[in-house]
Amino acid sequence: DTAVSQTPKYLVTQMGNDKSIKCEQNLGHDTMYWYKQDSKKFLKIMFSYNNKELIINETVPNRFSPKSPDKAHLNLHINSLELGDSAVYFCASSQVRGLSKETQYFGPGTRLLVL
Amino acid sequence: SQQGEEDPQALSIQEGENATMNCSYKTSINNLQWYRQNSGRGLVHLILIRSNEREKHSGRLRVTLDTSKKSSSLLITASRAADTASYFCATGSMDSSYKLIFGSGTRLLVRP
């Protein structure tokens, strides 16, 4: 009964490859997020989708492309992977109500290592 | 730049002692949230305090919010070894529904 799930949990790949990370939530939330956590545990928002519509796109290289086929799924595709992309990527979801920032529920993370 | 800054960066205490972590932020907020992250895991929501609240309790957790000083504190009373984790505050500005900005985190070690 995992609320927010991500696959894969670990991803080790070579520089220059293209890879995808998948996220699914079964909470019925309308908003999903991708965060990147670096080696110093600094957690930064990358993207947010609300009802399949892109809401937030922080200054992320366009090698990163999110896709939301429906409001329960938000996938992240990364082209031409670079060493600096190595990090833990977290998916999260929440139910947004007006300007109130409600609790976000996080997935377990995908640990990406680019060699 | 990062909205929230947390203090201390690391804290080591003996089981049974209280742990206090502080968070400062820069802009007007709708609410402030605290999350816990165990090693190798995702973040788990602990408590949310709204901008019109000054103090909130949940079990052994006590959160205060001082909007005039743009700061919050998280107190964990009677700490346990299982409380060992990183603790993050998260804030959102008034003008965006969708964005939470996380602080740099406090790494708490509770020694048995």
As a whole number of angstroms, the distance between CA A97 and CA A31 comes to: 10
Helix, strand, or coil (residue B83): helix
pLDDT of residue A65: 93
pLDDT band at B104 (very low <50, low <70, confident <90, very high): confident
Contact A106 B43 (CB under 8 A): yes
pLDDT band at B2 (very low <50, low <70, confident <90, very high): very low
Contact A101 B102 (CB under 8 A): no
**Quick one: closest CA in A to B6, which residue?**
A42
As a whole number of angstroms, the distance between CA B74 and CA B63 comes to: 5
pLDDT of residue A100: 60
Nearest CA to A49 among A70, A28, A19, A20?
Answer: A70
Q: How many C-beta atoms surround the C-beta of residue B107 within 10 A?
A: 18
* Contacts B37 to A, Cβ<8 Å: 41
pLDDT of residue B64: 98
pLDDT of residue A1: 58
Low-confidence stretches of chain A (pLDDT beneath 70): 1-2, 97-101
- Partner residue facing A106 (CB), from B42, B97, B99: B42
pLDDT of residue B1: 41
pLDDT of residue B76: 98
Length of chain A: 115
Chain centroid to CA A78: 11
Q: A101, A105, A110: best mutation site toward chain B, by most B Cβ within 10 Å?
A: A101
- pLDDT digits over B14-68, tens only? 999 999 999 999 888 888 999 999 998 999 999 999 989 999 999 999 999 999 9
pLDDT of residue A101: 64
